[in-house]
Structure 1
Amino acid sequence: MNTSAPLSNPDHASPFAAETPRPATVSLSEQQAFEAATARLRAALLVAADSQGFEEVADARLKLRALAVKLRDAGFWRSDKHGLRSTVSLLWEADRFVNEQALLRPEGDPARN
């Protein structure tokens, strides 16, 4: 079993605190994938602030949501309430952006659905 400490990335605010232990059912690769998806969504939202990247935000949001559910099912959020709040906040921001952009798109635009 891999018991190494979580990796930290100073380039973005990770929802994982460096001292937060990883539950035995969450692998290091799952945690790294979650952190990468978090960074991807944050970057997509920054690009979206410049009125670009609707599809990137939508895709990144779905990926992060799927990984968050996987970590929830593994019991990770029981030990990391700050990470849970941070992730929920980020997903809420992405949901709001995607919904607003979908409403602004023309009726016949396939990306609207």
Structure 2
Amino acid sequence: MNQRPEDLTDDELRALCNELTDRIDALDNDSDGAPDALVEQWAQANREESRRDALAARKAGRYSVTLDADGQEIEYELRATNEADAKVEVESGVEAMSKVSGMTVTVKQINGPITE
């Protein structure tokens, strides 16, 4: 990856995420799986895409959550439009993410809508 994901346009970032996913899927179907460096590139690109989606959600009046997943900070958009619903959504999401990924996931903060 020549450019950092945060320096890419939205379209370039989406294309990069798709390309890396395809490469990893192809390698996972082989014997040894994808190299760690490629998986890390994929994770960085997807974290940036998720951060941008969360920012857009907040600008549209919704909430997002910042999580710590085994030391990696990840921000996700939420469907919630009020704090009570955001808390419920976060609780179920953290539990599901922990079970599926096997990671230790904790909530750093719930981020409210951005009003300008």
Q: Same fold (TM over 0.5)?
A: no
Q: Bigger relative contact order, structure 1 or 2, given CA contacts below 8 A and separation 6+? A: 1
Structure having the higher strand fraction is 2
User: Normalized against structure 1, the TM-score is what?
Assistant: 0.44
Give the TM-score normalised by the residue count of structure 2: 0.43
Q: Judging by fraction of residues, say which structure has more helix.
A: 1
